[in-house]
Amino acid sequence: MSLESTATNAGQPPEDTAPGSRQRNLGLALVLISAAQLMVVLDATIVNIALPHIQRDLGFSDSNLTWVVTAYGIAFGGLLLLGGRMGDVLGRRKIFVVGVLVFALASLFGGIAQTDWQILAARALQGLGAAAASPTALALITTNFPAGPRRNRAFAVYAAMSGAGAAIGLILGGALTEVSWRWTMLINVPIGVLVAVLAPRFLNESEPRPGRFDVPGAVTATLGLVALVYGFNHKAQTDPTTGLPYPWNDFWTLTPLLVGVILLVTFFVIESRSRHALLPLRIVKDRTRAVSFIAMLLVGAAIFAMFLFLSLYIQNVLGYSPIRAGLAFLPFSFMIVASAQVASALASRVDPRWIAGTGGVLASVAMWGFSQLEFDSTYVAHLLPWILVMASGMGLLFVSLTLTAVSGVDPQDSGVGSAVLNTVQQVGGAVGIALLGTVYANGILDKLSQTSGAQPTREALTYGSTQAFGLALYMVIAAAVVTLVGLNIKHQDLATDGAPGVPA
């Protein structure tokens, strides 16, 4: 999933087509922008179906396997705001092309990777490219499309690409993995090169603006997240001397966690003093927006983990082929679209706390259902009902939190509210997967120690998954409580404040 504003990600108000630019073929311009966004969003989930095959080919442990997902999420989320700012200062088309080319090159490296560290480096580089391409792709709509119906239609198509990307990634990932997991990476290469070659011809460049880059903020935030994820993943490793997971007070577990916390605190100190902050603290001082960000952080952790661990469960426990596993998530896509439509219709009549709170309750019930899965459960009877309930809850949550995150934002910060929402979603997913991956790996080890087995069995894999879902349940409950208690904005304000970025 990707939630983004229809304004720029650097806190600048959207502008009409850049002065002096030629009128381009708007249809082809939209195709290029949408293709890049679909590629970026799709890659957040396309490898989920391929993970068991990547694990077998490259020798990943159960605990380190989650890095294939989190390496992308950390780089993408940690550098997203910086990418938007670079586009505004240096030129959006220029940064867009650079981001797409970096993404394509990283995909090539990932497709030919022969070791675990090579694919992890490629995934991080993909995240770097995505952090440059995604915010500038969105901002290029305001640069290339005149205000009015054509721009609105372009935003609608862009939003559809963002919403469909996760589901398409799972289905396409399944189909490509049937041939080889490497094609889940390599498919991006021709698409990225074609977009980068055609972009200068069909996309107008924005007029550069004066400004500086908050590099210290981007570095401390990203390295802080990396340190946290490393600490959680090391906790899931097995100590060769004892055969048990490392304790929390182990040096290589505790030290990275402490360093990560220190770096993130440093990030907020830098942001409070910087004139060009990536995250202006005035944005999070508003109670409604702060609650929206906290809730999305928790929801992002739960939803990314759900896709990951359900993908592993469906293939490793239920024995589904990659293509069947991808299709198993198709009902989720249909239901979340339907639920989002319901939420949009209710937004002008019902206070957002009740919409988001209901969504949180539904998602909590679904996560509880996932935590009750057994190794002999079936898809139709034991999995599909909870998938539909989860999608219903997520649709209500995503729409209402997007509305409250951008409601009442000052014009100078028109893009920051939704950009930060997207950032915390990606960051929550990366850190959540690291934390829940630790629970997953430790659960497998616990079950194996009870059965004296050496290789993960269906029972052990199921137990690890349900333990992870159990912790995710508390995250979703916390999100529901935060929205019900913390959101204090009325639906009348949402309907009349003209907040940017809210699709009609």
Task: For 409, list phi and psi in degrees, rounded to 5.
Answer: -75, 140
**pLDDT reported for residue 156:** 62
Closest CA to 342 of 302, 400, 389: 400
User: Which tokens go with 21?
Assistant: 């630019």
Do residues 261 and 167 both lie within one domain? no
In one letter, which amino acid is 78? G
The last residue of a domain, from among 160, 195, 211: 211
End-to-end distance of the chain based on CA atoms, in angstroms? Answer: 19
Residue 349: exposure state from Cβ atoms within 10 A (0-12, 13-18, ≥19): exposed
Do residues 204 and 243 both lie within one domain? no
**pLDDT reported for residue 152:** 64
> Would 145 be classed as within a structural domain?
yes
**pLDDT tens for the chain, residues 1 to 504:** 443 433 334 334 344 444 444 445 788 888 888 888 888 878 777 888 888 899 999 988 777 888 898 899 888 888 888 888 888 788 889 999 999 999 999 999 999 999 999 999 999 999 999 999 888 887 787 778 876 677 767 766 766 666 566 667 778 888 888 889 999 999 999 999 999 999 998 888 877 777 778 889 889 988 998 898 888 888 877 777 776 778 888 898 999 999 999 999 999 999 888 888 888 888 788 888 889 889 989 998 888 888 889 989 999 999 999 889 889 988 988 888 788 888 878 887 888 889 999 999 999 999 999 999 999 999 999 999 999 999 999 888 888 887 787 666 665 555 566 568 778 888 888 888 888 988 998 898 888 877 765 566 889 999 999 999 999 999 999 999 999 998 877 776 654 343 333 333
Q: How far is CA 441 from the centre of its chain?
A: 22
Closest CA to 103 of 15, 233, 192, 37: 192
238 forms beta bridges with 245
Do residues 205 and 219 both lie within one domain? no
Do residues 219 and 345 both lie within one domain? no
Do residues 319 and 405 both lie within one domain? yes
DSSP for residue 3: -
Do residues 486 and 448 both lie within one domain? yes
In a 3-state reduction of DSSP, which class is residue 212?
coil
Q: How far is CA 463 from the centre of its chain?
A: 26
The last residue of a domain, from among 211, 240, 263: 211
User: Which tokens go with 410?
Assistant: 């000052």
Do residues 220 and 197 both lie within one domain? no
Do residues 100 and 234 both lie within one domain? no
**pLDDT reported for residue 258:** 96
The last residue of a domain, from among 235, 251, 273: 273
Q: In the block, which residue shows the tokens 């490296």?
A: 109
Can you give the residue range of the structural domain that contains 453? Answer: 282-504
CA distances from 345 to 199, 349, 352 (A): 37, 8, 12
CATH number at residue 76: 1.20.1250.20
Give how many domains the chain has, as a whole number: 3
In a 3-state reduction of DSSP, which class is residue 351?
coil
> Would 16 be classed as within a structural domain?
no
CA distances from 394 to 1, 349, 444, 451 (A): 10, 19, 28, 37
> Would 351 be classed as within a structural domain?
yes
What angle in degrees, to the nearest 10, is found between the helix axes of 287-316 and 149-179? 30
> Would 17 be classed as within a structural domain?
no
DSSP for residue 379: I
Query: Could you tell me the pTM of the whole model?
Result: 0.79
Please enumerate in sequence order all residues whose Cβ is within 8 A of that of 498, keeping only pairs 6 or more positions apart, or say none.
Answer: none
Do residues 245 and 309 both lie within one domain? no
Whole-angstrom Cα distance, residue 406 to residue 286? 11
**pLDDT reported for residue 24:** 54
> Would 427 be classed as within a structural domain?
yes
> Would 18 be classed as within a structural domain?
no
> Would 413 be classed as within a structural domain?
yes
Do residues 353 and 439 both lie within one domain? yes
- DSSP codes of every residue in 137-155: HHHHHHHHS-TTHHHHHHH
Do residues 256 and 375 both lie within one domain? no
Whole-angstrom Cα distance, residue 273 to residue 158? 35
Do residues 130 and 251 both lie within one domain? no
